[in-house]
Amino acid sequence: MNKELNEIINHANKVSLKSNDPKTKVGAVIYDDEYTILSAGYNKISTDDKDILNSKEKHNYVIHAEMDALLELFSLIPLPEQYEAIESGKGFNIYITRSPCIACVNVLARYKFINKIFYGYEHKAAKNVYDELSKKYGIEINKV
């Protein structure tokens, strides 16, 4: 692993600490091929209800870290430049501290904004699905 990617991973780990989820803290960083950080996000539970924060229902209120980072990126890049990046094939990379859910992989891949998805902690069942999605979308998905 190169020094620049290690810095991206460290940044994602720091960002994850902002999460209000008492059990699972996830960070995501979107960066370009020169390792310039473009946006970052973390998982958020969109309620202050303490009972929900510690319940099984909390998943109904979670904004995933990769979606938070993607929304921040979209807020920073004007719409014409977003279309231009998609049409030119110039994409970005994302590092996520935990393996992304299938819904997030689908969103990231379908926008054609993200060329590579790297992640830290891996769920057991994730790898087989990632291989299938990687082939389907032509996107690189790897554990670091």
32-70 residue pLDDT tens: 888 999 999 999 988 777 788 788 888 888 999 999 999
What pLDDT was estimated at residue 125? 65
Look at residue 53 in the predicted model and tell me its pLDDT.
Answer: 79
Of residues 62 and 1, the one with the higher pLDDT is 62
Query: What pLDDT, on the 0 to 100 scale, is given for residue 91?
Result: 75
Is the pTM of the predicted complex or chain greater than 0.85? yes
At 24 the three-state DSSP class reads coil
What pLDDT is stored for residue 16 in this prediction? 98
| Topology of the domain comprising 3-143 | Cytidine Deaminase; domain 2 (3.40.140)
Helices (H), the chain: 3-16, 50-53, 65-76, 79-88, 102-110, 126-137
